Amino acid sequence: MKILVLLSGGVDSTTALAKAIEKVGKGNVIALSIIYGQKHNREIKSSIELANYYGVEHLYLDLTKIFKYSDCSLLKQSNEKIPYESYEEQIRDSNGSPVSTYVPFRNGLFLSASASIAISKGCEIIYYGAHSDDACGNAYPDCSPEFTDLINGAIYIGSGKQVHVEGPFVNWSKKDIVKEGIRLHVPYNLTWSCYEGREKACGKCGTCIDRKHAFIENGIEDPIEYEE
Amino acid sequence: MKILVLLSGGVDSTTALAKAIEKVGKGNVIALSIIYGQKHNREIKSSIELANYYGVEHLYLDLTKIFKYSDCSLLKQSNEKIPYESYEEQIRDSNGSPVSTYVPFRNGLFLSASASIAISKGCEIIYYGAHSDDACGNAYPDCSPEFTDLINGAIYIGSGKQVHVEGPFVNWSKKDIVKEGIRLHVPYNLTWSCYEGREKACGKCGTCIDRKHAFIENGIEDPIEYEE
């Protein structure tokens, strides 16, 4: 059995990579990283270091052009500022609409591209790091459980039942993911979550806040450096 | 209301384009053509001529890299020969597996990419030219009605209910599509269906055979030239 892991270089997908390797061995794991026009390339740098650390085959895909018409604040062409709020605050302020950090249909597109590659490379499973804290109202509609069931079904049926998607953490909190990663000795010092691309993580954006909490809740220190 | 039309330059998608223009006017229609590593660029040439003919905004997207690991016979890197059989014969010979002209998860990927672009460009509807003759056993599992329902649901939910997919011909035969196209004065002389990329259509590949039949069944001559 071979597993294709969507690897962003953050905490969740890196822990998913470690779980895939534990399950089928590193020779049967392929990591796939997707460039989509992020404001910085720190995530890609981290994903390269992580794939090297684990010694797995690593593929990249550049989907930047698909998002060139989007004004999402995470993307290079956007003039919008990345909000300094936790996800919870952003969602509360969004009044039920997608938030400014919603990249249009990103998860659907990433999983569909993964399905094409998984079929060609003979992988039966696609792993990705979605978790229960992601499913936040309609702020990120492509993270909802309803969406996940539909896209997973589409990939299974549309691939001729050759490939299915597994989210090993889909009902887990980020705290639980970090706990599992500690057991698996994940090198979290190599991961990157911050929306900004400076030398150290900002500590203030939504993803920094949520990441820091997950380590604190496990009673250990996040091994990456923060500006403050 | 704005409609994004997936335009391959063939009979079905061109007729879908004509229907979209009839419905909302050419100023509210965007055509999207996808390059995916086809053995030839005749389809793209046709789609440019068609978008010019109709005077609609025309976007292209190059997804070639996603399919570079595939050995599908339609793709440039493949050494496999394109089969000279009708779809029906190919399917019979495939014993229920995807056929050699199955591009891995192509429809899922094309619709997902369309969804991202539709959201960014403010289109509420994605039109595409799928029809009942496409849903042929499991030869093209990403053409089945079950797949279509799942991916359409995923796009509707994953876009925050901003976008939905419509296949105006999903229950029609190719014969009915050509009949509708004749009513709409579609310039079929500008379309291209053949899997080969020579000056004239080969007349022998699955898509040529099916196309020729659709015109014959409507009692008119296909306006493109064939080698034989």
Residue A109 amino acid letter: L
Complex ipTM tops 0.85: yes
Q: Based on the number of CB atoms within 10 Å of its own CB, is A74 exposed (0-12), middle (13-18) or buried (19 or more)?
A: buried
Residue A82 or residue A50, greater confidence: A50
Q: Is the pLDDT of residue A91 over 60?
A: no
Minimal Cβ distance to B157: which of A62, A147, A158: A147
Q: With bands split at pLDDT 50, 70 and 90, how would you rate the model's confidence at B141?
A: confident
In chain A, positions 149-178, which contact chain B (CB-CB < 8 Å)? 150-151, 153-155, 157-161
**Residue for token pair 């049967």:** A28
Top-ranked range on mean pLDDT: pick from A90-94, A100-104, B6-10? B6-10
Q: Tokens for A24, please give them.
A: 């089928």
Which tens digits make up the pLDDT trace of A169-204? Answer: 988 999 999 999 999 999 999 999 988 888 899 998
Of B67, B155, B160, the CB nearest to A97: B160
Q: What is the 3-state secondary structure (H, E, C) of chain A?
A: CCEEEECCCCHHHHHHHHHHHHHHCHHHEEEEEEECCECCCHHHHHHHHHHHHHCCEEEEEECHHHHCCCCCCCECCCCCCCCCCCHHHHHHHHCCCCCCCCCCCHHHHHHHHHHHHHHHHCCCEEECCCCHHHCCCCCCHHHCHHHHHHHHHHHHHHCCCCCEEECCCCCCCHHHHHHHHHHCCCCHHHCCCCCCCCCCECCCCHHHHHHHHHHHHCCCCCCCCECC
Burial A26-35 (b: 16+ CB within 10 A, else e): eebbbbbbbe
CA-only gyration radius of chain A, Å: 17
CA distance A197 to A200: 8
> Residues 6 or more apart from A21 whose CB is under 8 A from it?
A29, A54, A56
Closest CA to B124 of B168, B78, B93, B161: B161
Per the model's pLDDT, the better-predicted residue between B70 and B90 turns out to be B70
Instruction: Give Cβ neighbours of residue A88 (< 8 Å, ≥ 6 apart).
Output: A136
Q: How far apart are CA B128 and CA B165, in angstroms?
A: 8
A137: nearest CA partner in chain B: B160
| Residues A18, A172: Cα–Cα separation, whole Å | 16
Residues of chain A positioned with their CB less than 8 A from the CB of B61: 65-66
Mind listing the domains of chain A with CATH numbers?
Answer: 3-217 (3.40.50.620)
Per-residue confidence band for B206, with pLDDT thresholds at 50, 70 and 90: confident
* Binary contact (B104, A115; C-beta < 8 A): yes
Of A117, A150, A158, the CB nearest to B153: A150
Rounded Cα gap, residues B3 and B202, in angstroms: 33
The residue among A35, A39, A37 whose CA lies nearest residue A8 is: A35
Position A188, amino acid: Y
**Min Cα separation A124/chain B (Å):** 13
Q: Is B127 helix (H, G, I), strand (E, B) or coil?
A: strand
Q: What are the tens digits of pLDDT across the range A5-52?
A: 999 999 999 999 999 999 999 999 999 999 988 777 888 999 999 999
Q: Which residues contact A95 (CB under 8 A, 6 or more apart)?
A: none
**CA angle A206–A208–A213, rounded 5-degree value:** 100
The pLDDT value given to residue A76: 72
DSSP 8-state symbol, B75: B
The stretches of B134-225 forming alpha helices (DSSP H) are 145-158, 174-183, 206-217
d(CA A94, CA B4): 27
For chain A, how many residues are written?
Answer: 228
In this predicted structure, the answer to whether residue B39 has a pLDDT above a threshold of 80 is no
- Specify the pLDDT at position A62: 92
Chain B residue nearest residue A142, CA to CA: B158
Q: What is the pLDDT of residue A94?
A: 61
Range scoring the smallest mean pLDDT among A11-15, A133-137, B98-102:
A133-137
Residues of B in contact with A141 (CB under 8 A): 157-161
> Which of B6, B3, B7 lies closest to B190, judged by CA?
B7
Q: Are B189 and B177 in contact (CB under 8 A)?
A: no
